[in-house]
Amino acid sequence: MKPELIKTVAETEELMKQVQKEKTEVVEPKKAAVDIEVAEAAAKGAEAGAVKKECEDLLTEAIPALNAAVAALDTIKPNDIKLVQTFKNPPAAVKLVMEAVCVALDVKPAKIPDPAGSGRKIDDYWGPSKSLLGEKDFVDRLRNYDKDNIEPRIIDKLREKYIADENFTPENAAKAASAAEGLCTWIGAMDAYDRVIKIVVPKKIALEAAESEYNKIMAALKVKQDELDGIMSALAALEKQLEDSILEKKRLEDEVELCVVKLERAEKLINGLGGQRDHWTVRAHQLGEDFQNLTGDMLIAAGMISYLGTFTMAFRDGISQKWVAACKSAGIPSSAKFSLVACLGDPVSIREWGIAGLPNDSFSIDNGIMIANARRWPLMIDPQGQANKWIKNSEKKANLQVIKLTDSDYLRTLENAVQFGLPVLLENVGEELDPSLEPLLLKQLFKSGGVMCIRLGESIIEFSDQFRFYITTSLRNPHYLPETAVKVTLLNFMITPDGLSDQLLGVVVAEERPDLESQRQELVLNTADNKRRLKEIEDRILHTMSSSEGNILDDANAIEVLSEAKIVSDEISEKQTIADATQLEIDAAREGYKPCGSYNAVLFFTIRDLANIDPMYQYSLSWFIGLFVRSIHGSVDKEHQSVAGDSDINDLRERLGVINDHFTYALYQNVCRSLFERDKLLFSFLLDSRIMQSRSELPEQEYQFFLTGGVGVVKKNVPRPDQEWVRIVLGVSRIQAPAV
């Protein structure tokens, strides 16, 4: 493309030189000569126009008078003429007017004796006037009078003898006879017209000469203009060729520039997305596998959400494995090892749940996923208040409404929440739910007036799709009837050892190393925000690439979006790398406190099992954690007293041992206060055995043998004891038997 551009540029430059030469040597001189002649013709045309205008202006003055005279002639009626003919001795004004008419028409006067008695003959126009008036075409003769060629002797006589007479006016004539008025006006008009025409005629002659010369110049000019038009047409063809060449050059330049831009964009695209190749390749492969297994995974997930919410994690895993095997036998594709987190979990949402207080164990996370995806409202079995805390924290920004069935206005609060889309938490329900909640639990919606509505009690209210409903019970082992269980999604939110161990670890680190725990909490928030932003950027990149039509290199906006997203992604990834390194350091520091969390979690589950002895023996998690915090503070004083004089206590293991011992004793004392005397020894044994099991100091088989006396123990091939040893043991038993 670039060689073609170079060739086109050379051709265009050569054509530009040719056009410039043609303009300079041919067109411009010819055009200058024509312009001179055009200027001369314009000057001659201007002169002729001036003369013509002057003539027209003069005629404009005379023509109205002439028209008035003709109009006056039209007013003369035959009866008026006959009346004048009947005059034997006409008035002087009539006689004067008729004399002027006779002079104008060159009618000879009659010779009559002088009435004054001079003996001479005088001119008399009345006789000829009467004859003239008697002519049939008298008025037409006046109307067709050759006004352009009046003889000088006639007009001079009219002006000297008649028009100069002050009595020769249409007004005086009108007094004598109406016909005389029109004739007088006609004589005046002939005089005025003659005055003008004497000036106009020479000017008309000059105008004809000027127009003739102008026409000759214009004819010659037309010839030269035609020549110039031919030259200009040839020049226009050259200029059109030049314009086409310039456009072609511009097109090639644009294409070359576009290729350069595309190369830059491709480089940006490669640099921006090249680093994500491995990640997206693995991700695409994983999504492909997930798509293949989608049917079976969704089937198992639906079954788990519908039926396994109340069961423990171990039971859920066992059932899911059986369901995976059943799918395989039925030919339904599914994952080899089913995981609800991998199937329906959103990492960003899971992190936000953890920040809001959801325990960080797989059992609790699965419960959160079930709540997020279940079609029925969740009813959470929550004796330790973990679900309550999580729901309140996560829905706090949405203006969560907390109600109890014992509240007098709980139904009104619920109606408002349903209408305005507010989340509602119903706490401390029993084994039976209020029947008024049934339409809400069954989502008995209907359309009214184009909106979805629901009936609560006696009220019909609009149902907002933003409404969320959570139910919790603090009962440890509630028994819900089937008709209740099918209306809700039952979930077991009882605390797990892993979840409690992590909580207690956070408590002890917060008390012992508050700086470390605050740094960790801040890091958790930052990490969650970074992961969320990375996910948004990744979604934005994928959306941009999928929505771009045609070649993505032609979409400047898409490339810009991808470049900006890459820059932000790199910044966040860099921050996240630093955060991950810091997290490892914090986790390493926290790892030393982990045995303390695990040990004390065992103590909680020990006292929790006391409810199996007597339902009265129930202890809340909040009370347990409060006692644990007090023991941490109390163990500091005890430790100082036990190592008096030794201020350099840096052994973490020793410190944790002191905390564990202090809390164990404090827990034992507080729990024993609430036990019957007969159960205190059993509690001591249970506490000791659980502690030994947590330290792997009590073999499970021996413990089970001790508890069951060998009943139900699986028979195994073990070395037989020495016969002498058996004989001694049996003898000792016989000796001790009477004492028993």
How confident is the model over 102-148, as pLDDT tens digits? Answer: 888 888 887 777 776 666 777 777 778 777 777 778 778 887 888 77
379 plus 403 within the same structural domain: yes
- Residue 196 in tokens: 């003008």
How confident is the model over 653-684, as pLDDT tens digits? Answer: 888 888 999 999 999 999 999 999 999 999 99
Cα–Cα distances in angstroms (integers) from residue 147 to residues 104, 155, 179, 489, in the given order: 10, 10, 21, 123
Diameter of the chain by CA atoms?
Answer: 217
Which of 551, 575, 591 is at the close of a domain? Answer: 591
Is 222 contained in some domain? yes
- CB–CB of 434/404 below 8 Å? no
Classify 432 in phi/psi space as left (phi over 0), alpha (psi -120 to 50) or beta.
beta
Is 621 contained in some domain? yes
pLDDT at residue 82, as a whole number: 72
614 plus 560 within the same structural domain: no
- CB–CB of 440/418 below 8 Å? yes
Domain with 96 in it: what CATH number? 1.20.920.60
Is residue 339 predicted with pLDDT exceeding 80?
Answer: yes
pLDDT at residue 451, as a whole number: 92
Secondary structure (3-state) at 422: coil
Instruction: Please list, in sequence order, all residues whose beta carbon lies within 8 angstroms of the beta carbon of residue 312, skipping any fewer than 6 positions away.
Output: 363, 492
Is 245 contained in some domain? no
354 plus 483 within the same structural domain: yes
The residue that leads in pLDDT, 70 or 329, is 329
User: Number of helices (H) and strands (E), helices first, in the chain?
Assistant: 28, 10
- Residue 499 in tokens: 């979840």
Is 726 contained in some domain? yes
- Other CB atoms within 10 Å distance of the CB of residue 79: 10
How confident is the model over 278-296, as pLDDT tens digits? Answer: 666 777 888 888 889 999 9
581 plus 634 within the same structural domain: no
Q: How big is the CA angle at 268 (ends 262 and 271), to the nearest 5 degrees?
A: 140
Domain with 501 in it: what CATH number? 3.40.50.300
Instruction: Please list, in sequence order, all residues whose beta carbon lies within 8 angstroms of the beta carbon of residue 380, skipping any fewer than 6 positions away.
Output: 367, 371, 387, 470, 471, 472, 473, 491, 493
Helices (H), ranges, 442-555: 482-485, 497-512, 514-547
- Other CB atoms within 10 Å distance of the CB of residue 546: 7
How confident is the model over 235-275, as pLDDT tens digits? Answer: 677 777 777 777 777 777 777 777 777 777 677 666 666 55
Position 281, amino acid: T
Q: Which domain holds residue 136?
A: 2-235
For 11-69, the three-class secondary structure string (H helix, E strand, C coil) is HHHHHHHHHHHHHHHHHHHHHHHHHHHHHHHHHHHHHHHHHHHHHHHHHHHHHHHHHHH
Is 660 contained in some domain? yes
33 plus 181 within the same structural domain: yes
pLDDT at residue 662, as a whole number: 92
Cα–Cα distances in angstroms (integers) from residue 722 to residues 11, 429, 727, 728, in the given order: 115, 62, 9, 10
pLDDT at residue 733, as a whole number: 46
Least Cα distance to 666 among 630, 623, 642 occurs for 630
309 plus 348 within the same structural domain: yes
602 plus 585 within the same structural domain: no
pLDDT at residue 669, as a whole number: 93
d(CA 213, CA 51): 14
The DSSP call for residue 375 is S
659 plus 551 within the same structural domain: no
Q: What is the mean pLDDT of the chain?
A: 79
202 plus 330 within the same structural domain: no
Mean pLDDT, residues 392-407 taken together:
92
d(CA 281, CA 279): 5
d(CA 41, CA 345): 94
Which of 591, 611, 627 is at the close of a domain? Answer: 591
d(CA 112, CA 306): 151
Least Cα distance to 477 among 649, 232, 310, 647 occurs for 310
pLDDT at residue 203, as a whole number: 66
d(CA 162, CA 155): 10
d(CA 173, CA 97): 7
For 226-272, the three-class secondary structure string (H helix, E strand, C coil) is HHHHHHHHHHHHHHHHHHHHHHHHHHHHHHHHHHHHHHHHHHHHHHH
Does this model's pTM top 0.75? My answer is: no
Beta-sheet pairing, 489-492 with 378-381: parallel
Give, for 460, the enclosing helix (H) or strand (E): strand 459-462
Is 254 contained in some domain? no
720 plus 619 within the same structural domain: yes
Instruction: Please list, in sequence order, all residues whose beta carbon lies within 8 angstroms of the beta carbon of residue 419, skipping any fewer than 6 positions away.
Output: 461, 462, 463, 464
Q: How many domains does the chain divide into?
A: 4
665 plus 631 within the same structural domain: yes
Highest mean pLDDT out of 30-34, 78-82, 166-170: 166-170
162 plus 299 within the same structural domain: no
Position 38, amino acid: V
d(CA 377, CA 302): 15
Beta-sheet strand order (sheet of 451-456):
445-448, 451-456, 459-462
